[in-house]
Structure 1
Amino acid sequence: MPKNKRPSASPKMLVFLVVTILLAIPLNYAFSSIATILLVVYTLLTAKKGHFNFSLSLALPVLLFLIMCTSLIWSVEFKCTLKALSKEIPLLVIPVVFAFTRLWPKQQKDIVKFYSWGMVVYALFYIIRAFSKYFSTGDASVFFYHELVTKDVNAIYVSVFLSVALFYFLVKKYKKRIDYMAFGLLFIMVFLLSSKNILLADIFLILIYVLFWSGITKKAKWTIGVAFATLVVIAGYYTKIGERIKSELEPGTEMTVRESGTNAISIQEAWKKDTFTQNDYFNGTSFRVYQIRIFTEMMSEDPVLLTGYGLNASLNRIKEKGEEHNVYKGDETHRGYNSLNFHNQYIEVFADLGLIGFLVLIVMLGINLKNGFSNKDFVHIAFAFLMIALFLTESFLWRQRGVIFFIVLYCLFNKELYSSIIEKERS
């Protein structure tokens, strides 16, 4: 026997390290970074050449990272691009780690299971902390949106983290009472976090599962579906989520950014108005319409269609557009519109990495969704659909929490399982 033979990777250790990364994401950035480094080091120490299996699905995020690195050549803001690359390193290292990892179906299921129960613990912590704040202050807003989880962690991001766990409990075949309680707690949390996009995506996916995947009788499906939809509509109408939806449809109903006297900008004005005033207010929808508009202007004015401006380098052009259209510049207490990025992953990738980077992202999302249906794994399908929906309103991959969460679950769900590889070798 060779003296320096490398030890094989322990399945339990792999599960522990991947779950640790996922559960560290809502904490301080250092924790998820350390957990990622530990997984990489462990993989290097136990990696064996014969285990390497680098599929197209794992190669695509690596290709996206290489395009980001290459964008240093043409970036209009070299320092910004260089600095941003450090946050995107998981796109390179996590797929390589999974390429060297022998992953059995049981390990994949265990990772999702332990992650989901970890999210239940987070949900309990956030709820208990909210009650503690409420008893101290009497302010009911501590139960909603960023106040519930802090603005730094971000209510929308936590909604996504919890939603994946929610679908684990939804599709679990043999449910105990505690599983139903966990599902209920997670859904209540997503509801309280008031992310319209994620909540609507969750409701849609739950109804799809109940009506077409659950295996219960047709009568029960429709009864449960109608009852659930009715409950959600009633609850939404009388809670914060109803107020947030109303504020999007009627811009003048929400003036929380600055003092009264501001002028609410409609969707049509956001798209057509040439010059705004410092008293003009954009709600979430109208602001995103404005951003799509300036993106189209930028693409028509600058020769960057194929390459983009460089990773994280489009912000200065956004600021210039803000000056041109005279949007609110901000003050000592409020951030200006011209200092915000696109809040849309598709546009962000196109603006920073050009058409090539955009197409790589689209292919990744397409493969992710296709594999979910091919594997008949509804948790995978839910993850794929949530990412497609989330990318419409958030630059998720341009944030450390977002890129780690996405790439770990993307690789976990799209990595070819070892049992499948063995089957192919035998046939």
Structure 2
Amino acid sequence: MNFIKKIKKEIFIDCCLGLLLASLPLPFGFINIALGLFIISCIISYKELKFNRNIALFIPIIYYCLCVFSLAFSIDTQATLKYLSKGIFFLIIPLFFLFIPKLSKERCLRIFDIFSYSMVVASIIYLIRATINYYISGDTDHFFYHSLVTLDVNAIYISLFIGLAFINLLNKASKKIYDYIFTFILFGFLILLSSKNVIVITLIAMGFSLLRLIKIKQKKPIIALLIVGILMSIPLSKKIYERFDLEFINTSENVVLENGIINVSIKNAWDQKHFDGNHYFNGSSFRVYQIRIFNEIMQENNSYLTGIGVSAEQEKIKEKQINYELDNYYGDLNFHNQYIQSFAGLGVMGIILVVILNLNNWIKSIRQRDILFFYFTLLTTSIMFTESLFERQRGIVFFVILYCIFNQINTSIPNTKNPPNKL
């Protein structure tokens, strides 16, 4: 406590926010500990706290209240109750942000730097782990996708964290030598994670960054950016190419792969009446199949208006998997689309609130012309088409914290030390 009193209270809050973001790849216990530290930092700073009428911060709170209300009509109350404990971040974090003073650009940069450097450390640890596993087994798969970070942590979610950390360091106003090195590490690690969606969006953000650097005549960063792009094209090995290529296998007719596995086309994922254990859905066809069974579930339960209760859909998905005679694996997966996930659980109001959250981010990120905010908005809007972001605690914490930070920036105070990264 004596130590805390000696430092600025706002710095303590910023560090706690940075640590909360840094805890995302760690076991959930660490995330909860970091949340506790953030709450303590706010309580200690009670004299500086003052309620502010930031309407944007009420939207995630309303979303959580709707989740609570869904208990009244949930078809699986146990699953809904379990989700409410996991989704409490929708309530707690915005509530505290409603009392935190507006964040200066300098404070935001401090938070994001803590986060970015922690992601560098995490990347190095994962790479060391993959190297050890490679020397034990001789299998290069340890350097790619879920095998690199484990399926439980999930390569898609780690890609979100790494991508944001990379764009932050790439657009940092004044870089040290180690910042350039860390930028290389993060982008290389992102490529190895092989998330098609995140890689494409990150390349788009790199293009905006390049245009900005040309505009302000920053030659060294431009050269560094080009070198990053050239060197990091090397890790696009056969394994990563296959992850992209598999999506473009015949979209109208099923294709037989090795070992008799049948790759289901996008068309047949929607139309085919029966499957069996040999049928395999690639990323695109699987999402189409999930939209198909979502529509069937909603029609059968007549639940388009109210939904069937947040996170209560899994038994219905399992029934569809059994009905279509698919491998048990497909019965354990959620909709992998946050828009239809919220629609299924919360009805029309659920999807409307998700759209409002994203629309608010689009309007403000374009208005502020902040590259990092724009990247976060593009990334989360897009990833919600392929992942149920709010069904995993890491996804909830990632979205809610950054949503609150970006919507709590004080745009009226210019930052002379670190000029904002404009689009």
Seen in structure 2, the aligned counterparts of structure 1 residues 219 and 228 have a Cα distance that, compared at 3 Å, is same
**What is the 5 A alignment of 1:241-280?**
241-250=240-249, 260-280=259-279
C-alpha distance in 1, partners of 2:352/2:60? 12
**What is the 5 A alignment of 1:244-323?**
244-250=243-249, 260-323=259-322
Seen in structure 2, the aligned counterparts of structure 1 residues 162 and 126 have a Cα distance that, compared at 3 Å, is same
Contact 1:306 1:354 in 2 (8 A): yes
Q: Deviations over 1:166-212 (max 9, x none)?
A: 01111112333322211111110000011111111111221133235
Contact 2:214 2:222 in 1 (8 A): no
Contact 1:141 1:147 in 2 (8 A): yes
**What is the 5 A alignment of 1:125-164?**
125-164=125-164
The reply on whether 1:20 has 2:13 as its aligned counterpart is no
**What is the 5 A alignment of 1:8-407?**
10-48=9-47, 51-102=50-101, 103-211=103-211, 214-215=214-215, 236=236, 238-250=237-249, 260-328=259-327, 330=328, 336-407=329-400
Q: Deviations over 1:52-88 (max 9, x none)?
A: 1141111000000000000001111111101110000
Single out whichever of 179-188 and 318-327 deviates more from structure 2.
318-327
- Note the aligned Cα RMSD (angstroms): 3.0
Q: Deviations over 1:350-391 (max 9, x none)?
A: 111111011111111111122122222111111111111111
Q: CA deviation at 1:30?
A: 0.3
- Provide TM-score, normalisation by structure 1: 0.87
Amino acid corresponding to residue 34 of structure 2 in structure 1: A
Contact 2:120 2:182 in 1 (8 A): yes
Amino acid corresponding to residue 293 of structure 1 in structure 2: R
C-alpha distance in 1, partners of 2:287/2:105? 41
Seen in structure 2, the aligned counterparts of structure 1 residues 201 and 14 have a Cα distance that, compared at 3 Å, is same
Amino acid corresponding to residue 368 of structure 2 in structure 1: N
Q: CA deviation at 1:42?
A: 3.4
Residue aligned with 1:369, SS? helix
Seen in structure 2, the aligned counterparts of structure 1 residues 216 and 11 have a Cα distance that, compared at 3 Å, is closer
Seen in structure 2, the aligned counterparts of structure 1 residues 31 and 216 have a Cα distance that, compared at 3 Å, is same
Contact 1:7 1:46 in 2 (8 A): no
C-alpha distance in 2, partners of 1:104/1:173? 16
C-alpha distance in 2, partners of 1:265/1:310? 30
Q: Deviations over 1:28-65 (max 9, x none)?
A: 11010111122224323433586111411110000000
Q: Deviations over 1:103-157 (max 9, x none)?
A: 3332211001111111111111112222222222222111111111111111111
Contact 2:192 2:235 in 1 (8 A): no
C-alpha distance in 1, partners of 2:38/2:69? 26
Residue aligned with 1:281, SS? strand
Q: Deviations over 1:201-247 (max 9, x none)?
A: 111221133235652569999999998777766753x3322011112
Contact 2:146 2:155 in 1 (8 A): yes
Residue aligned with 2:72, SS? coil
Seen in structure 2, the aligned counterparts of structure 1 residues 49 and 76 have a Cα distance that, compared at 3 Å, is farther
Q: CA deviation at 1:9?
A: 7.6
Contact 1:58 1:95 in 2 (8 A): yes
Counterpart residue number, 1:424: none
Q: Which runs of 4+ in 1 moved over 4 A?
A: 6-9, 216-235, 251-255, 418-421
Amino acid corresponding to residue 364 of structure 2 in structure 1: N
Amino acid corresponding to residue 61 of structure 1 in structure 2: P
C-alpha distance in 2, partners of 1:263/1:18? 47
Amino acid corresponding to residue 179 of structure 1 in structure 2: D
Seen in structure 2, the aligned counterparts of structure 1 residues 222 and 128 have a Cα distance that, compared at 3 Å, is closer
Contact 1:8 1:46 in 2 (8 A): no
Seen in structure 2, the aligned counterparts of structure 1 residues 111 and 138 have a Cα distance that, compared at 3 Å, is same
Amino acid corresponding to residue 188 of structure 1 in structure 2: G
Amino acid corresponding to residue 80 of structure 2 in structure 1: T
Contact 1:270 1:287 in 2 (8 A): yes
Counterpart residue number, 1:3: none
Seen in structure 2, the aligned counterparts of structure 1 residues 239 and 278 have a Cα distance that, compared at 3 Å, is closer
C-alpha distance in 2, partners of 1:406/1:97? 16
